[in-house]
Structure 1
Amino acid sequence: MSTIELTQSQKSILQELVNLERESETTVTGKAIADQIDRNPGTIRNQMQSLKALQLVEGVPGPRGGYKPTLNAYNALDLQEMDEPASIPVSCNGEPAEEEIIQEINLVCVLHPEKCRAEVHIQGSVRDFRVDDILTIGPTPKSSLAITGLVEGVIHTDNKLIIRTDSMEAPVQ
Structure 2
Amino acid sequence: MGPYKLTMSQREVLEALIRLYDERRRLIKSKEIAELVNKDEGTVRNIILSLKSLGLVESKTGPTGGYMPTLKAYEIIRGIPVQLPVKLKKAGKELDIPVTTIEILDMLNPEGCRAILRVQGRIRGEINVGDKVEIGPTKIANVRIEGEVTHIDLATKQIGIKITRLISVPRIPVGEIASIGNIITIEPDATIKDAAKLMIERRVKGLPVIDSRGRLIGIITQTDIAKAVAEGRIDATVKEYMSFPVITIRSDEDIGDAIELMNLRDIGRLVVTDSEGKPIGIITRTDILKFIAGLR
Structure 2 length as normaliser, TM-score?
0.29
Q: Which has the higher contact order (CA 8 A, sep 6+)?
A: 1
Larger radius of gyration: 2
Per the normalisation by structure 1, the TM-score is 0.48
